[in-house]
Amino acid sequence: MNEPEFAPSRILDAREFVAMTREILDPESVARERAADEVTDLLSSYSSTQVSTLATLLSAVAACEKGNSALEAELHAILELMSTGHVAFGHVAQLQDIRLKELSPELREYVTDLLDG
């Protein structure tokens, strides 16, 4: 299987990466939503390890998310990270913990599509 080309233009340094992960874990859903949007804005700035780590972290956060806007942003960020070719099913497996029947049809479809790969 050929993986897509992935050559970051500039890799986030340790401080930037830690700051990003802290934002993803913020107690406020508005902040988590903003952080997920920022993940997609910086897509070309991650190493392959950072990509898989962010996907894993976002999946865990999404599995616990209560805010629909934040959840949608997190799922979109995961989808964008998956496009790099550095995210395996194991990185997003925690999405299985989301109770699909509690979601809107659009979010339900988003989660199903991500799990189907």
pLDDT at position 92, please?
A: 96
| Residue 49: inside a domain | yes
Q: Domain tally for the chain?
A: 1
Q: Report if residue 26 sits inside a domain.
A: yes
Does residue 34 fall inside a structural domain?
yes
Express each pLDDT in 50-92 by its tens digit. Answer: 999 999 999 999 999 999 999 999 999 999 999 999 999 999 9
Q: How far is CA 39 from CA 11, 35, 48, 99, in A?
A: 13, 6, 14, 24
This prediction's pTM: 0.89
Whether residue 2 is contained in a domain is answered as no
Asked if 34 contacts 69 with a C-beta cutoff of 8 angstroms, the reply is no
Domain boundaries, position 96: 14-116
Domain annotation covers residue 112: yes
In a domain, 3, yes or no: no
Residue 32 lies in a domain: yes
- Would you call 111 exposed, middle or buried from its count of C-beta atoms within 10 A (0-12, 13-18, 19+)? buried
The pLDDT value given to residue 3: 44
Number of neighbouring beta carbons within 10 Å of residue 14: 7
Per the structure block, which two tokens stand in for 48?
């392959």
In a domain, residue 4? The reply is no
